Amino acid sequence: MEYISTRANHQPVSAGEAIRLGMVPGGGLFVPQSFPAYQPAAGQGANWSYDQLARDILGLYLTDYDPAALAAMVDAAYYGGQFDAGIAPVVPVGENAILELWHGPTAAFKDMALQLTPRLLTAAVAQSGQEQETVILVATSGDTGKAALEGFKNVPGIKIIVFYPAQGVSPIQELQMRVTDGDNTYVAAVEGNFDDCQTAVKQLFADAALEAKLAAAGKRFSSANSINWGRLLPQIVYYYYGYGQMVSQGLVEPGRPIDVVVPTGNFGNILAAYYAQRMGLPLGRLVCASNRNNVLTEAIASGHYNSRRPFYKTTSPSMDILISSNFERFLFEMLDRDGQACAGLYQQLAATGAFACPQAQARWEGLLWGGCASEEEGAAAIAQTWKQHHYLLDPHTAVAVAVAQQYRQQQEAAPLLIVSTASPFKFPRAALSALGADTSGPEGALCDRLSQVTGWPVHPALQGVEQKPLRHHARIPREGIGAYVEEVLGLR
């Protein structure tokens, strides 16, 4: 399987090369040349194991990797004690089924991929025979940062540098990142928002002069964001796994479609659902749930992507995004893989902050549905779900639940699988506030209080995080990201 650029500006590369590069030098994202059909051998859902699904799906796309090595990576990523037993359990909550993706080491769904990505990357570097140090640049809206730090820390041949918006992540998310140990980890708070971080990082990737300087020093950039194929691919697996559990729990007839509702920021998670659908998993509609930053809701309905709008900080910070990177990969498909057309739209986005794609919009109608929830609607979903079902939602999942409600009211829905992306203990203030409980006092105390109020145990990844020493202190202006990277790498 080879990988091509969404902007028709690169020759096809192997999977290993796509993962090693992270994104297309000069802009654009790598996508697989085709989507292999996949039907798990073990019946129609009831016996699908995570392990087998992951090995099969990775194998179909990573044809230049040794299957035995892939199996060992899957085993080490998901069965080495990082995840509790269910890995990604489906829990029925009222008329919805919730796919819990936060049972990993940092309590957010990013772990599902990022326990594997570093293994895929180091194998690709080894295979390339180049003795280069790989420098992972990460822009994070909160959860990717910590998950990537945990995945990449102390991995030989790698340095990881994480940028997060100084006021744009939750206090617990910030603490989680700043206490990270490891001799190859760097974390900087940026005075700006997530889009500033992401745009700056993408510019560094596209900077040819810097690339030459890095090469001379024996280094090369790569990415742990969902622009990297090695981060996106593992996410296809849990849609199959979730479907299989819905079948085994009697929530859907084998082979019948389900709709999925995904709380969306960078469009990576929902894109993985789309890819699963292309491979033959019976997913009906993909419902894209946004918070008050509803650029995607508008784009999906109108075909007009307009990032020139106010940026709101919300209680679901991982979705506070105006430029959803992976929408480009989806758009590429809706444009019938016309890379020139896709490049044109993204040049327009870079120049003007907006583009219109009415023909593509006509293609996704019936496939993609968008909705958004206000802060109040999100909080109401937390309160209502708790009251009715004694199930505790985090504020991101709450946005999805609120949008699922709108969706049911407006459309004929198949059985719904709602993707839950974070443990509520990552956002205790929002959860307590929605439940009408006391939110005074330090953040660490809020986790324990949320546990007392609900009887839910604090997620193991978050126990005692406020007692750990802070190891990272950098704070930089948004124009300073390039200089910071050069300083860390000793290039200036």
Ligand X SMILES: *Cc1c(COP(=O)(O)O)cnc(C)c1O
Q: What is the DSSP track for 168-213?
A: SS-HHHHHHHHT---TTEEEEEEES-HHHHHHHHHHHHT-HHHHHH
Q: By CB under 6 A, name the binding residues for ligand X.
A: 108, 110, 143, 226, 263-269, 318-319, 396, 421-422
CA gap 90, 455 in Å, rounded: 20
Of the pair 16, 317, the CB lying nearest ligand X is at 317
Of the chain, the end-to-end C-alpha distance in Å amounts to 39
CB of 131 to ligand X, least distance (A): 33
To the nearest whole angstrom, how small is the minimum distance from the Cβ of residue 262 to ligand X?
7
The pair of structure tokens assigned to 269 is 């998670």
- CB 197, CB 164: distance < 8 Å: yes
Burial class (CB in 10 A: 0-12, 13-18, 19+), 60: middle
Residue tagged 């003007």 (tokens): 352
- Which lies closer to ligand X via its Cβ, residue 45 or residue 265? 265
- Whether 232 and 327 have beta carbons less than 8 Å apart is answered as no
Is 144 or 185 the residue whose CB approaches ligand X more closely?
Answer: 144
Cβ 423 to ligand X shortest distance, Å: 9
Here the tokens at position 302 are: 């109108």
Minimal distance, residue 108 CB to ligand X, in Å: 4
The answer to whether 420 and 399 have CB atoms below 8 angstroms apart is no
CB 291 within 8 A of CB 373: yes
SS3 431: helix
Q: Which is nearer to ligand X, 125 or 300 (CB)?
A: 300
Report d(CA 478, CA 188) in Å as an integer. Answer: 11
Contacts of residue 122, defined as CB under 8 A and 6 or more positions apart, other chains included, come to: 134, 155, 156, 157, 158
Minimum CB distance to ligand X, residue 150 (Å): 14
Cβ nearer to ligand X, comparing 61 with 194: 194
Measured from the CB of residue 321, what is the shortest distance to ligand X in angstroms?
A: 7
Rg (CA), the chain: 21
Cβ 408 to ligand X shortest distance, Å = 21
Q: Can you tell me whether residue 432 is helix, strand or coil?
A: helix
The closest alpha carbon to 445, from 421, 461, 469, 462, belongs to: 462
Which CB sits closer to ligand X, 17 or 333?
333
CA distance 276 to 400: 20
| 3-class DSSP state of 254 | coil
Structure-token pair, residue 301: 């309905």
Q: Which is nearer to ligand X, 14 or 269 (CB)?
A: 269
C-beta of 110 vs 119, nearer to ligand X: 110
Residue in 226, 266, 259, 263 with CA at minimum distance from that of residue 242: 259
226/228 with CB nearer ligand X: 226
Inter-helix orientation angle 143-152/117-128, to 10° = 50
For ligand X, give the closer residue by CB, 56 or 320. Answer: 320
Q: How far is the CB of 299 from ligand X (least distance, A)?
A: 14
3-state secondary structure of 424: helix
Residue 222 or 326: which CB sits closer to ligand X? 326
